[in-house]
Amino acid sequence: MTTTPNLDPKDMATAYDAQAVEQPLYEWWERSGYFKPNHPGARSFTVIMPPPNLTGELHMGHALTNTVEDALVRWHRMLGDDTLWLPGVDHAAIAVNAIIERDLAREGISRHDIGRDEFLNRTWEFVRRSRDRISTQHRRLGASADWSREAFTMDEQREKSVRTTFKNLYNDGLIYRAERLINWCVDCGSAISDIEVEYEDEPGSFWHVRYAIAEVDGTPIGRDIVIATTRPETIPADTALAVHPEDPRYAGLIGKRAIVPTNGRLIPIIGDAAVSIESGSGALKVTPGHDPVDFEIGERHGLEIISIMNPDGTLNEHAGQYRGVERFAARKALVADLEAAGRLEKVEPYTHAIGHCQRSRTIVEPLISMQWWVDARTLAKPAIEAVTDGRIKFVPERFERTYLQWMENIRDWCISRQIWWGHRIPVWYCDACQHQTVAIETPTRCESCNSEAIRQDEDTLDTWFSSGLWPHSTLGWPDQTDDLKRFYPTQVMETGYDIIFFWVARMVMLSLYNMGGVVPFETVYLHGLVRAPDGAKMSKSRGNVVDPLEVIAKVGTDGLRYALVSGTSPGNDQRITDDRLESGRNFSNKLWNASRFVLQMVESSDDLTLPAPATGALEDRWVLSRLATVVDDSTRLMERFELSEALRQVRDFFWDEFADWYIEVAKVRVRAGDRTPVAVLVHVLDQVLRLLHPIMPYVTEEIWQRLVTISPDPGGASALIVARYPLAATERRDEDAERQFGAVQDFIRGIRNIRAEKRVDAGRWVEAYIVAADVTAAATTLQEAIENLCRARPLHIVATADAAPSEGVVTSVLATGLVVLPMAGLFDPAAERARIEKQIAEVEAEVGRQEAKLSNEAFRSKAPADVVGKEEERLATARTRLEGLRASLTEIG
């Protein structure tokens, strides 16, 4: 089966075959250029795709992002906007670097053995393979992205953006190099930023250690101070003990010295109001080289900074006898030594939050290190304003507070990484004059002294530095391109709420800086996580990962998209269940089958002109009025990003109203030779396909390609993907038709309910009366349809209740009128009489037995009172039942 435009409407398989349809359709769309923005001059609608990481296999999170963005993009394209969805890929610096290093480790070598160039060659090879796979997978999801504009964070144009941004920030004093305490990952061999550290509670210990106190000259005064620490291995790097200046326990000790237990070094005892008197001994060891709080105390008091750790996690020469020992082994050895020296007062178990590297899960070590920093505090100011003044909106709104709180407390951003894969820092150091040349074009000489003895900084930039430029670097910035003019600012940034800080915040800061204060996007739409059916987070280790490609093989891309959209609501997590995936597939099939029915009914001689508004049959006016409402609601819901509700409304209309009612009623008319419903059938089907296309693109296009041969698009579109989204035909709103047809539906449902209650055989025709009040005329025109839809014949449609029988009937009272079914019509009277007579005989026999028993004096005198009571009760029940049965018999007549 090949999918080409304008298919034969009569040629539709009995079941929808997603596997056969999807790929050829996608190729045709792409080949036809439909994914490119085609309305220059019109209002633009731009979405920049969050770049997936090179490392990752496609997961449900991508599938959701893709589906939501594609739905928005397809919708805007159908609204006639100049629509661009720009795809790209992120180089995922630390993650990819780690993969290549792991491969090297398997060969028994390290990156230093092969050198930087060879390492990067290997990395680029990995990148090529990975990018191919990613773009293939996104195509499988139906992404209508403009692949001709695809960007990569490491391509030439993006490198120019990165270097230009770096240079400008450097010239403005917003990027600087400084020795600071950073988060060091021993495993990654790199600094990482604050938000790449994840804290988890873990059991540990508080070691209580005695420090002897001495005079300034080192003479012990015969007193100790006990401090508690969770990281005793840092004791050799202590440079003070701190107490609260007003703590009476330590009055007179401030200014004296403490003796570091492991190496006998003298350190000052200082008073700092930040020390809590209440907790523990009220004394702290101060280790500015290994703790951020201590670092600040150290800055206040001008303390020395000692660093005792090597980048590989072993201790260095400042640790004395522990030099060369791995950090946790050193901890053990040091604790044993303290104990032997009588300096360990006690050990308490203590659970506390420990920082781990987000990537490698290793315990992060605060270390002093020379790094490059971005002055985030300065950049945050305009980024806060852009949100508080409403130029950037969050959906859902509650994330605005999350964003603002973080921005208001932001710390400077450590952007240098000690790995090789990534944008190398564009700074060259001069060996001759020590000048730093910061440049966009790779320089050959020092810009200050002209010496050729220059070396580029060895470090690379944090991945998020380049992805922070994404909304404008993808459009060609710093070059003043046509795309930048045409598509910036973008309209929607759609991403997961888990990366607000990593990504959204940085895009706002860097875009405002580079783009003269113009915001990068107007709306930040945050979707939730897709969880496993049991509600847990999907993870390989739990084995509960649902693979989108496997799902697509089972339920089709549209089925998956239906399931994801129906479960999504802004900012909330969803579970992906088999039930939901199956309803996706079922709905594709329902759409296909109903369409097949409609398309096969059409004949070339049919006039496809709709009846003028307020004319035509009641059901025509009803369905067109309902359609107008659904179009209106769907548009409003899409505008508010309530995709799942929009889908639900269109689905319910299609399935519960159009397919279950309109088509059924129309069948009766067509059978009777009335061809007028055909125009309505074709029109409603066409509009529904348009409404559903953004969410279920394949099945709708596949059907529409058949429909368009019967009913050409008024705008001349050759594909649904570029046809117009429906406009609500407000002139077709018809409250009276909706009320009257609603009453007819009630009559039919009323009769069906009675049939169900009385367990009438499905095939049996029953006599019925409809008391239709002011809907009598309308109901009469639909008489044959009503008869067919509830198997009621003869059917009497009367205006008032006195025209219907009131004896021997079952009645149901409705909002308008009532339905009345003679009992006799519900079943075969002779058989029913025989059945009841048999029961009467049984019950009569029981009554006889009970009466005999109770009139027996021997029984009455011997049996206990409660037994006699029970028997009397049984008799009464049987008599009541007998009365009921006899009444039923009379009713049958």
| Candidates 179-187, 405-413, 707-715, 851-859; binding stretch for Zn ion (CB under 5 A) | 179-187
Strands 44-48 and 82-86: parallel
Give 524's strand partners: 394, 493
How far apart are alpha carbons 435 and 447 in whole angstroms?
8
Total residues binding Zn ion (CB under 5 A): 14
Q: Does 551 bind Zn ion (CB under 5 A)?
A: no
The Cα-based distances of 572 to 70, 525, 530, 652 in angstroms read 19, 12, 9, 23
Give 259's strand partners: 212, 266
Q: Which is nearer to Zn ion, 429 or 501 (CB)?
A: 429
Q: Does 243 bind Zn ion (CB under 5 A)?
A: no
Q: Which is nearer to Zn ion, 98 or 650 (CB)?
A: 98
| Candidates 63-71, 442-450, 524-532, 554-562; binding stretch for Zn ion (CB under 5 A) | 442-450
763-802 residues near Zn ion, rule: CB under 5 A: none
Do residues 662 and 669 lie in contact, with contact meaning Cβ atoms separated by under 8 Å?
no
Q: Does 182 bind Zn ion (CB under 5 A)?
A: no
For residue 446, the minimal CB distance to Zn ion (Å) is: 3
Q: How far apart are the first and last CA of the chain?
A: 64
How far apart are alpha carbons 198 and 306 in whole angstroms?
26
451-510 residues near Zn ion, rule: CB under 5 A: 451
Q: Which is nearer to Zn ion, 4 or 444 (CB)?
A: 444
How far apart are alpha carbons 355 and 70 in whole angstroms?
37
> Among 110, 136, 448, 572, which residue interacts with Zn ion (rule: CB under 5 A)?
448
Q: Count CB atoms within 10 A of the CB of residue 13.
A: 11
| Candidates 445-453, 703-711, 783-791, 834-842; binding stretch for Zn ion (CB under 5 A) | 445-453
How far apart are alpha carbons 810 and 807 in whole angstroms?
9
How far apart are alpha carbons 139 and 753 in whole angstroms?
48
Asked if the peptide bond before residue 349 counts as cis, ω within 30 degrees of 0, the response is no
Q: Does 433 bind Zn ion (CB under 5 A)?
A: yes
The Cα-based distances of 592 to 11, 577, 587, 702 in angstroms read 12, 23, 8, 9
For residue 94, the minimal CB distance to Zn ion (Å) is: 7
Tokens of 825: 């019509």
> Among 336, 341, 432, 727, which residue interacts with Zn ion (rule: CB under 5 A)?
432
3-class state of residue 826 by DSSP: helix
* DSSP, res 653: I
| Candidates 345-353, 357-365, 514-522, 684-692; binding stretch for Zn ion (CB under 5 A) | 357-365
Q: Does 756 bind Zn ion (CB under 5 A)?
A: no
Q: Which residue has the tokens 């050759």?
A: 718
Do residues 152 and 91 lie in contact, with contact meaning Cβ atoms separated by under 8 Å?
yes
For residue 236, the minimal CB distance to Zn ion (Å) is: 25
Query: Cα 613 vs. chain centroid, distance in angstroms?
Result: 42
Q: Does 95 bind Zn ion (CB under 5 A)?
A: no
| Candidates 225-233, 272-280, 424-432, 639-647; binding stretch for Zn ion (CB under 5 A) | 424-432
> Among 265, 377, 435, 752, which residue interacts with Zn ion (rule: CB under 5 A)?
435
The 306-345 contact track toward Zn ion, x by CB under 5 A, reads ----------------------------------------
Q: Which is nearer to Zn ion, 433 or 614 (CB)?
A: 433
Q: Which is nearer to Zn ion, 311 or 382 (CB)?
A: 311
How far apart are alpha carbons 351 and 206 in whole angstroms?
9
Give 107's strand partners: none
The closest of 431, 467, 466, 470 to 449, measured between CA atoms, is 431
Q: Does 185 bind Zn ion (CB under 5 A)?
A: yes
> Among 84, 95, 188, 599, which residue interacts with Zn ion (rule: CB under 5 A)?
188
Give the angle subtended at the CA of 725 by the CAs of 722 and 727, to the nearest 5°: 150
| Candidates 178-186, 399-407, 600-608, 856-864; binding stretch for Zn ion (CB under 5 A) | 178-186
360-399 residues near Zn ion, rule: CB under 5 A: 360
The Cα-based distances of 598 to 69, 129, 325, 728 in angstroms read 31, 46, 79, 22
For residue 449, the minimal CB distance to Zn ion (Å) is: 3
> Among 240, 241, 430, 843, which residue interacts with Zn ion (rule: CB under 5 A)?
430
For residue 448, the minimal CB distance to Zn ion (Å) is: 5
> Among 86, 162, 379, 446, which residue interacts with Zn ion (rule: CB under 5 A)?
446
Q: Does 96 bind Zn ion (CB under 5 A)?
A: no
Residues at the interface with Zn ion (CB under 5 A): 185, 187-188, 357, 359-360, 430, 432-433, 435, 446, 448-449, 451
